[in-house]
Amino acid sequence: MFVFGTAGHIDHGKTALIYALTSIDTDRLPEEKERGMTIDLGFAWMKLPSGEKVGIVDVPGHENLVKNMIVGATGIDAVILVVDAKEGWMPQTEEHFQITELLHIKYGIIAITKTDLVDQSRVNIVERQIKERLKNTVLFNAPIVKVSTVKKTGIEQIKLAIQNLIPQMKPQRDIGKPRLYIDRVFNIKGSGTIVTGTLKGGTLYKGMEATIFPSYQKTRLRSLQTYKEKVEKALPGSRVALNLAGIEKNELHRGDIVFGTKQIKASKYLDVQIQLLSQPQLKNYSLKNRSEVVFFTGTKETLAKIFFPENKPLCPGETGFAQLRFKEPQATFLGDRFILRIPSPPKTIGGGLIIDPLAYKHHFKDKDIVNLLQKSAKLDLRELILAELKKDNFIKKDNLLINSNFSYSNIMNITELLEQEGKLIATSSWLIDKNYWQEQIINFMKRLNQEYELSPLQIGFPLNKFQSYFYYLKPEIFNGLIKSLIKANKINLKRGMIFLPSRKPKLSASQKELMDKILKILKENFTNPPKEKTLISQIAGSKEIIDFLIQEGEIIKLSDGILLDSKNYDIMKNKLIDFLKVKGSISIGQVRDLLGISRKYIIPLLNKMDEENITQRKENVRILKNKLS
């Protein structure tokens, strides 16, 4: 489904032409009837000889109403450029045409109107004037039709030209991201609040839930109409009227957006590519850094401040990158077009392309920003994905280019190809910039080696210690990093400890002496083993050696800090196991008689055996755990 829109100077016959084509009078306001001129947007539709319906947007031609013209033009697929045969190409004809060029409207028809008021030679002069102006533009080969709405000539030729143009036009794609910029809000008695607009990006269904931006209010689509017909669903590219449940007329405004998705992201900062017009009236004008401009996209009009790289102004006819900053967040999409005007005197100065709809505030100090914008401006999906990862380092798959005119499936297909080519890293839910990933690997190995420098006798270090160092990584990304390092044989992970595969601690002569001294004390104190704190206070420098011996399994550390020589622990453990195999259970008193140790050692010993799943407490005794099963 397609929408055409008129453009042209005031009183050149746009509304009369639409009435002749559709039998619909688009001047709906009393003031429009009284003054005989279009003030606000008008909407009509027509059925072509082929049976296909097309929508038509009528826009005002007065220079003071250009902003209304822009609002109408942003939702059209093709333009009907109207030129009065008496007056020819006029200032608003020029401005309207420039606006359609800035919006990249590539298809159109030229209607020379009021031909009944002039002779054929005048019509020929105007036709040559039009062709001269359209030279080197996308509309150079557009059909030119001579029309008289009074004599009803040229009307069927316009319809035929529209029908012939449609096969050349690309229908709007359904990318699963429906959004409708509201251009009209009104009430119908018995129905409630109605909004209209041109639907793009996806399909809306009767009964579905929708969200209004910027209020984020939830609503339900009670009913839908396209071209006065009730429908169960509305397709992208069509003019749609929505009956909204649970929301009042005064809560909605032109420029608000109806989103058929729960994920709406917005930003106060847009990175854009701007094209400044080269028209004669801008000859001495330049768009300076920090200038305030009026920004139009969809049906939204808002003020923005503009910031250029290196504070360099943009001159007429030039194209450059900039950041637009707003007081309130804007919900725009990558690839959307926009128009810029200056507030005083009001004048269209240019327009452009939204490159990053969710930009961060910056001043272009980083040269990489401009490089990324240059790549992204080509709208190549591969480059866009890599640019997004370069900007954010890692992104959840569901959020990648969510504010873009690409479908999720298309984005994921290209992402998979980039992963296969080694251009990015992927986990089940996240995508990571390749260079950032390599930096994390380097940082991880550097941190691990630093830990070994600080604790040369340690074989490994707790995994959760490194999780705290890399707190800024999402758990899934951190786990993916560990798995990749293990797969590359850079680290090993065992019992929650990270270590280098080839790492073998080296003890100095003095450290070996300390180790022998500590082991001797533990071996000789079978029934009265010391606590860790006691040994550390008695033997200077022993803590590091004790940690090393625990790590090596030479020492067993019980609760309360009690240290046992591992061989002594095995002797005690085996005696208890042998006793339990025969007797079935053992009490604390029996342990004391069997091992000759006091209660303060018995409880920690039994707790250790419970931890190792050797024994199980049953009331006041211990039994072998495997017997329970």
CATH number of the structural domain spanning residue 432: 1.10.10.10
Q: Which domain holds residue 417?
A: 380-506
The answer to whether residues 515 and 500 belong to one domain is: no
Q: How many domains does the chain have?
A: 5
Centroid of chain to Cα 509: 60
* pLDDT of amino acid 31: 42
Does residue 246 sit in the same domain as residue 275?
no
The answer to whether the beta carbons of residues 364 and 310 sit under 8 Å apart is yes
Q: What six digits make up the tokens of 590?
A: 């029996």
- 483 close to 498: Cβ distance less than 8 angstroms: no
Q: What is the pLDDT of residue 301?
A: 92
pLDDT at 485: 96
What's 121's domain CATH number?
Answer: 3.40.50.300
**C-alpha 447: how far from chain center:** 32
Q: What is the DSSP string of 287-347?
A: B-TT-EEEEEETTEEEEEEEE-GGG--B-TT-EEEEEEEEEEEE---BT-EEEEEETTTTE
- Domain match, 327 and 396 both: no
Verify that 198 and 162 share a domain, yes or no: no
Mean pLDDT by 10 residues, the chain (629 residues): 88 89 66 39 83 83 63 86 94 90 94 94 95 94 94 93 93 93 88 91 95 95 90 92 93 94 89 89 81 94 93 88 96 95 87 96 85 93 96 95 95 97 96 97 96 85 94 96 96 90 82 90 91 91 87 89 94 94 93 93 94 91 74
Domain co-membership, 324 together with 404: no
Q: Are residues 11 and 145 in the same domain?
A: yes
Is residue 83 a part of any domain in this protein? yes
Among candidate residues 227, 259, 291, the one where a domain is terminated? 259
Which pLDDT score, from 0 to 100, does residue 65 have?
A: 54
Residues 398 and 502 in one domain: yes
Residue 138 lies in a domain: yes
CB 573 within 8 A of CB 609: yes
Domain final position from 213, 228, 259: 259
Do 32 and 149 reside in the same domain of the chain?
yes
Q: Are residues 467 and 501 in the same domain?
A: yes
- Specify which residues 47 forms β-bridges with: 53
Residue 424 falls within a domain, yes or no?
yes
Query: Which of 259, 289, 305 lies at the terminal end of a domain, its last residue?
Result: 259
Contact in structure between 196 and 182 (CB atoms under 8 Å) = yes
- Number of H helices and number of E strands within the chain? 19, 32
Q: Does one domain contain both 218 and 76?
A: no
- The CATH number of whichever domain residue 218 belongs to comes to 2.40.30.10
Measured CA angle at 176 (ends 388, 234), to 5 deg? 145
In a domain, 347, yes or no: yes
Q: What is the pLDDT, as a whole number, of residue 39? A: 35
Q: For residue 38, what pLDDT is reported?
A: 37
- Answer yes or no: is 173 within a domain: no
In Å, the largest CA–CA distance within the chain is 128
* 187, 272: one domain: no
Identify whether 405 is part of a domain: yes
- Both 189 and 164 in one domain: the answer is no
Query: Does residue 174 belong to any structural domain of this protein?
Result: no
For 105-133, b/e burial (b = at least 16 CB within 10 A) is: bbbbbbbbbbbeebeeeebeebbeebeeb
